Amino acid sequence: MDYPSKRTFAIDLNPSMVGQEVTIAGWLEDLRDIGKIGFVSIRDMTGPLQAVVYDDTLSVAKDIPRQSTLIIQGKVQESRAKNAQVEIMVTKLIVVGKAFHPLPIDPTGRIESSLDKRLDSRALDLRNPRVSCIFKTKSIVLQTIRHVLFSKRFIEVHTPKIIGSATEGGANLFSFEYFKRKGYLAQSPQLFKEQLVLGLERVFEIGPYFRAEPSHTGRHLSEFISVDFEAAFLEYYDIMDIVQELISKVIKVLSQECIHDQIFVNGITREDGNIPRISYEQCISELSSIGVKLEFGDDLSDASLKKLGEIYPGFYFILDWPTNLKPFYILEQKQNPEISRSFDLQYGYLELVSGGTREHNPDILRGKILAQGLDPDLFSDHLKTFEWGMPFHSGCGLGLDRLMMVLAGTNNIRETVLYPRDTERLNP
């Protein structure tokens, strides 16, 4: 049999097709041999289907190892199976790619494997519908985010990931040899996206960023995807409004979307409600009322964030952080320079977004770089753009893999990244 060019996806099979000849491509999950005929469970990227084999096709099917890739041809007929309206009566069957057993993991999920073993065999792991669903959902989330940002006149850009000097401090950068000089991997697009508002006003970038943090947590990786956006003439509370719209739109789209029968918006209120906005000061006073003593200016440790997550288990913003906790490019409040114009979006203990209004006065910015112990000379390419008529601007960075943790209901970011990179894992 030649490989047919026209195929029908499992999800498109329906009773109006009874009697039609179709071609299906997928992989073999199971065969139930009941004597004269056999029932074959096949799955393709859209879901499962049932096929019936008999005589020659049954004897061929019996010898095919599970997970091998097949193409079948046959007629659509009504099915008596409880989870399918129609099935395929197979007339031709061809094995395209044989699966050699024993396989390292069981992608049907019947035999559970550790996450480490699954990640070692990630390509096969993706045949598990619970796993592939995370990545199909991630793609829909990205599409939704792009749609919302485009509708607000943002344009999508790409800034370099190979950079020549430490962007925001430098402690967490990977460095490497770059044609006899030192190069670094970008930890964020922060400085570039700020420069771009000069000519483009509203930009966003979705890309990988790199942090050489030797962390061993469920929420940090050495490489992660960030959705960064930056806009001229907006304030940090305008950015919070956009973040809120992004989150509620994503949840709305996912609750309408039927990705097989997986429910994705785990434990998240589906209404388009506002996300609570809680000031840093209110956070520390609520924490101190339950015995976690913090002074203004103290960072919220993992333990404090866990406690705060118990008080606010869903999405909430923490805003108006102490200036001393924020990077040099964040602007402070006019009335009180100890408080910055900044916010984080949290989901319980988990930080999802950091954002703020930026300092756009070049002299003050230079002073702040100095005050944080950094060398303004390393920032000269950046600082000069602020002397060319820089508008005031605000923006944020949203950790996409962390948002997926919330949507997939997992505490381990490695579940939401195809090939996670951490201190231990560099392959595959």
Number of residues that bind ligand ATP (CB under 6 A): 15
Instruction: Give the nearer residue to ligand ATP in terms of CB position, either 74 or 397.
Output: 397
* Residue 252 binding target from ligand ATP, Mg ion, none, CB below 5 to 8 Å by type: none
CB of 402 to ligand ATP, least distance (A): 4
Q: Which of 57, 226, 346, 357 binds ligand ATP (CB under 6 A)?
A: 226
* Residue 360 binding target from ligand ATP, Mg ion, none, CB below 5 to 8 Å by type: none
Instruction: Give the nearer residue to ligand ATP in terms of CB position, either 42 or 206.
Output: 206
Site mask for Mg ion (CB under 5 A), range 333-372, x = bound: ---------------------x------------------
Query: Considering the rule CB under 6 A, would residue 401 count as an interface residue with ligand ATP?
Result: yes
Q: Which residue has the tokens 């829909």?
A: 140
Query: Considering the rule CB under 6 A, would residue 352 count as an interface residue with ligand ATP?
Result: yes
Query: Considering the rule CB under 6 A, would residue 351 count as an interface residue with ligand ATP?
Result: yes
Q: Where are the beta strands (DSSP E) in 34-130?
A: 37-44, 47-54, 69-78, 86-97
CB of 358 to Mg ion, least distance (A): 15
Query: Considering the rule CB under 6 A, would residue 194 count as an interface residue with ligand ATP?
Result: no
Query: Considering the rule CB under 5 A, would residue 190 count as an interface residue with Mg ion?
Result: no
Instruction: Give the nearer residue to ligand ATP in terms of CB position, either 213 or 257.
Output: 213
Contact segment (CB under 6 A) with ligand ATP among 148-156, 266-274, 352-360, 371-379 equals 352-360
Distance separating alpha carbons of residues 187 and 208, to the nearest angstrom:
9
* Residue 223 binding target from Mg ion, ligand ATP, none, CB below 5 to 8 Å by type: none
Evaluate whether 206 touches 225 at the Cβ level (below 8 Å).
yes
Distance separating alpha carbons of residues 382 and 371, to the nearest angstrom:
17
CB of 211 to ligand ATP, least distance (A): 5
Distance separating alpha carbons of residues 397 and 119, to the nearest angstrom:
27
Supply φ then ψ for residue 160, to 5 degrees.
-65, 145
* Residue 341 binding target from Mg ion, ligand ATP, none, CB below 5 to 8 Å by type: none
What are the structure tokens assigned to 382, written together? 């950046």
CB of 42 to Mg ion, least distance (A): 46
Instruction: Give the nearer residue to ligand ATP in terms of CB position, either 39 or 135.
Output: 135
Q: Where are the beta strands (DSSP E) in 280-348?
A: 315-319, 342-347
CB of 305 to Mg ion, least distance (A): 11
Distance separating alpha carbons of residues 72 and 27, to the nearest angstrom:
10
Q: Which of 24, 353, 405, 406 binds ligand ATP (CB under 6 A)?
A: 353
Query: Considering the rule CB under 6 A, would residue 38 count as an interface residue with ligand ATP?
Result: no
Evaluate whether 318 touches 346 at the Cβ level (below 8 Å).
yes
What are the structure tokens assigned to 52, written together? 């019936």
Q: State the amino acid at position 34 in one-letter form.
A: I
Evaluate whether 119 touches 125 at the Cβ level (below 8 Å).
yes
Instruction: Give the nearer residue to Mg ion in terms of CB position, either 132 or 342.
Output: 342
Burial label, 60 (beta-carbon count in 10 A; 0-12, 13-18, 19+): middle
Query: Considering the rule CB under 6 A, would residue 399 count as an interface residue with ligand ATP?
Result: yes
CB count within 10 Å of CB 82 equals 5
Residue nearest to ligand ATP (CB): 399
CA distances from 223 to 168, 169, 275, 409 (A): 17, 18, 28, 21
Instruction: Give the nearer residue to ligand ATP in terms of CB position, either 161 or 220.
Output: 220
Query: Considering the rule CB under 6 A, would residue 167 count as an interface residue with ligand ATP?
Result: no
CB count within 10 Å of CB 200 equals 16
Q: Which of 253, 300, 297, 288 lies closest to 272, judged by CA?
A: 253
Distance separating alpha carbons of residues 113 and 105, to the nearest angstrom:
6
Query: Considering the rule CB under 6 A, would residue 210 count as an interface residue with ligand ATP?
Result: no
Evaluate whether 130 touches 109 at the Cβ level (below 8 Å).
yes
CB of 102 to ligand ATP, least distance (A): 34
Q: Which of 93, 101, 127 lies closest to 25, judged by CA?
A: 93
* Residue 399 binding target from ligand ATP, Mg ion, none, CB below 5 to 8 Å by type: ligand ATP
328 SS3 class = coil
CB of 235 to ligand ATP, least distance (A): 18
Evaluate whether 180 touches 338 at the Cβ level (below 8 Å).
no
Residue ranges in contact with Mg ion by CB under 5 A = 354
Residue ranges in contact with ligand ATP by CB under 6 A = 211, 213, 220-221, 224, 226, 351-354, 397, 399, 401-402, 413
